[in-house]
Amino acid sequence: MKNLIPGFLLAILVALPQLNAQTAGETSSAPTIGAQPLYLDPTQPVDARVEDLLKRLTPEEKDSLLHGSGTFATAAIPRLGLPERWMSDGPNGVREEIQRNTFNTAGLTDDYSTAFPSGICLAATWDPAVAYTQGQAIGEEARARGKDIMLGPAVNIQRTPLNGRSFEYYGEDPWLSGRIAVGFIQGEQSEDIASCVKHFAANNQETNRNNINVNVDERTLREIYLPAFEAAIKEGGSLSIMAAYNKINGTYCAENDYLLNTILKGEWGFKGLVMTDWGAAHTTDGAARGGLDLEMGTGVGRVPYDQYYLAQPFLDGVENGTYPMALLDDKARRNLYVMIASHVLDPNRKTGSINTIAHQNASQKTAEEGMVLLKDDNNVLPLDATQIKSIAIIGDNAVHLQAAGGQSSGIKAFSEISPLAGIIARVGGRVNVTFSQGYSSAGATRGGRGRGGAAAAPPVPAADLIAQAVRAAKQADVAIVIGGLNKNFDTEGSDRRDLTLPYGQDDLIAQVVAANPRTIVVLVAGSPVEMPWLAKVPAVLLSWYGGSEAGNAVARILFGDVDPSGKLPCTFPKQLADTPAAAFGAEAYPGVGGQEYYREGLLVGYRWYDTKNIEPLFPFGYGLSYTTFKYDNLKLVPGDHAKGIWMTAQFDVTNTGSRAGEEVAQVYIHENNPALERPEKELKGFDKISLQPGETATVSIPLGYRAFSYYDSDKKGWVAQADDFQILVGSSSRDIRLKDTFKLGEASFYK
């Protein structure tokens, strides 16, 4: 299961007797006893250590690095002190142990972890510093669990809110997704772990994910689906990247020469390794020439490891001259680079920690910063516990634990505070809190092809559950309906069928708020839902999947201990028909006959709704606070192109309310006379600031050339035209508070 002997110790124990040995693959320059081989010397440059080690490997040893020797492990090379490399999911914590040669869980009792909020909640914080802290904490837990590569973050763009894995990803905008990914990866890798940003690329649905061929134009790929990966690699420094299951323009991602060799390794200068998603390799030649460096999960439990495409079949190809040795060397080099750059062989490699108070605090911080206050009429919130005698908590999601489930990102959590438990802990001592289930999630999973198997008949008829809830609401000062979705709907492996709340919740909410107008709805969900009852409900809090401390975070926001500051990383449309992927028929989504066409092009998310003037239920970037903010004094300060800054948007934000709060100030651009179609607006910068009542802060958002550029598929580069650009500063994509025009005097072109 885990590395019993830490890598560095294995390296030293084994390397010592070898120092004078002349074995196959060793060079005559092996230093004398006492001086450790260069590749083991942490004071030496990574590249030099890699080259020193590479030349010591036999072809067989090199090839052993290119494929799994377990579901989540690769083989050791004891002769040179190279340990097994262990990987684990996922983006919001360290998954429970899986059996060595199957996908079954190992059923251990020492593989719990802290559950962190799901990706969409992390993105909703709009705070790369929070992402860094969460990534660092997960990195520490991964090291404590003996892992070397963590399979995350997951940064695919929410092209359709129906995508089953929307909850794992960072929403609909490439810039926001990239900023959060950079923070997360830098944090995680600071703990001597290699991150593995995924799923590269355009894996934007679960329906037929293994084979769907995504037909997408180059400009859309470059401007929408690649930037988050580009930032993760070029700025985040992700040491590895996971090739997605699907095809792009006819070729599987895991053997897509253009995607992996031309763009990733060529243009972006990526030195790390490309691994498959589990079972995403299809041919030896495609893997060999297409840029794959590590094959995982091929035919788990069925295909012998030495028969993986990059195992003996590839080695045979090298030995018979089909593939140059240089190709084997490059793949092996990339695997060694990741190992050495993440300090696997170093004696002082970090050993991490697990489920510490710091980790629990980090988990709660993300949850608190990511929850989005969608509605708060007449300041119903925050609740004052001293003025309330009774609260009726209603809804299965008040007690439904969410950390597990959803497949690979599920966490076996040391603990998970439910919303009910959090509220009782916060006010139970002085307020009478009742609970009624309101609805049962044991019923058919109407909204998706749920993982719950055959739907069990709800133990209590739905009408009775609603009647109980209505009675409870009538008798209480305040009613809080805690509903939403669960991992039957937000899950890997299948997409949702619609955006409706399942289990009859719409009817429940309507009846509860009719019984008690002081009703608050808390939505526990990882993707957009329709809200036909919204006009009747005075307050709505979107809590996402908040991880181990979810209930505490919900309680602290409801009772005003912390100001809600989350902003939507994805649009909540009024109806599914308004969404771009639904606008062009089945060929656009979910695809027909294995072919799918991204007919909406660049117009994803708010880019679609704002360009087509479609009113959303709640717009991208939207989120309320318990206080209010004023924006003033926008100045556009020309920048030094040589330093990559073309213009800095400078403006003041003032907290005009009576409570401390946090605001996410957003900067969008609109080009006045574009040569090619451009979206109505595009997010190019943001900053989250914390302000005391009456306090003013000056915010500076620098914009580089890419902020003004579009990708020119003919010129194969980024073009910024000489044109007037509107700089739009606001509290959401549809709440623009300041704007001014920036004249770009000269055109530019960048590769």
Catalytic residue ranges: 277
Shortest Å, Cβ 625 to ligand GLC: 34
Is-contact 349 8, C-beta < 8 A? yes
Rounded (10°) angle between helices 357-370 and 128-144: 150
Instruction: Find residue 691's DSSP bridge partners.
Output: 661
Q: How far is CA 164 from the centre of its chain?
A: 13
DSSP, collapsed to helix, strand or coil, labels residue 723 as strand
Is-contact 222 271, C-beta < 8 A? no
**Residues near ligand GLC (CB under 6 A), total:** 8
Copy the structure tokens of residue 625: 């606070």
Nearer to ligand GLC, 225 or 608 (CB): 225
Instruction: Collect contacts of 442-446 with beta carbons under 8 A, ≥24 apart.
Output: 443/502, 443/503, 445/488, 445/489, 445/502, 446/497, 446/500, 446/502, 446/503
Shortest Å, Cβ 476 to ligand GLC: 43
Binding mask 439-478 for ligand GLC (x = CB under 6 A): ----------------------------------------
d(CA 631, CA 697): 10
Q: How far is CA 497 from CA 441, 447, 476, 500, in A?
A: 17, 5, 36, 9
Shortest Å, Cβ 114 to ligand GLC: 19
State the chain's maximal CA–CA distance in angstroms: 86
Nearer to ligand GLC, 6 or 493 (CB): 493
Nearer to ligand GLC, 151 or 259 (CB): 151
Give phi and psi for 480, each to the nearest 5: -125, 110
Of 133, 155, 1, 11, nearest to 73 by C-alpha is: 1
d(CA 238, CA 195): 5
- Restricted to residues 278-297, the positions that interact with ligand GLC (CB under 6 A) are 278
- Restricted to residues 497-516, the positions that interact with ligand GLC (CB under 6 A) are none
Is-contact 45 21, C-beta < 8 A? no
* Angle subtended at Cα 586 by Cα 580 and Cα 589, rounded to the nearest 5 degrees: 50
Residue 198 sits in the site that holds ligand GLC (CB under 6 A): yes
Instruction: Looking at 154-276, list the stretches that DSSP marks H as alpha helix, in order from N- to C-terminal side.
Output: 174-189, 218-220, 227-234, 257
- Restricted to residues 72-111, the positions that interact with ligand GLC (CB under 6 A) are 89-90
- Restricted to residues 580-609, the positions that interact with ligand GLC (CB under 6 A) are none
Q: Binding residue for ligand GLC (CB under 6 A) from 189, 408, 627, 732?
A: 408
Nearer to ligand GLC, 305 or 710 (CB): 305
Nearer to ligand GLC, 335 or 565 (CB): 335
d(CA 197, CA 91): 9
Nearer to ligand GLC, 8 or 305 (CB): 305
d(CA 749, CA 720): 6
* Angle subtended at Cα 642 by Cα 636 and Cα 646, rounded to the nearest 5 degrees: 20
The three-state DSSP-derived secondary structure of 450-465 is CCCCCCCCCCCCHHHH
Nearer to ligand GLC, 410 or 605 (CB): 410
d(CA 548, CA 417): 6
Which residues have CB under 8 Å from 639's CB, separation 6+? 645, 646, 647, 648, 702, 703
Nearer to ligand GLC, 189 or 552 (CB): 189
Shortest Å, Cβ 194 to ligand GLC: 13
- Restricted to residues 251-280, the positions that interact with ligand GLC (CB under 6 A) are 277-278
Nearer to ligand GLC, 79 or 496 (CB): 496
User: Under the rule (CB under 6 A), what is the footprint of ligand GLC?
Assistant: 89-90, 151, 198, 277-278, 408, 492
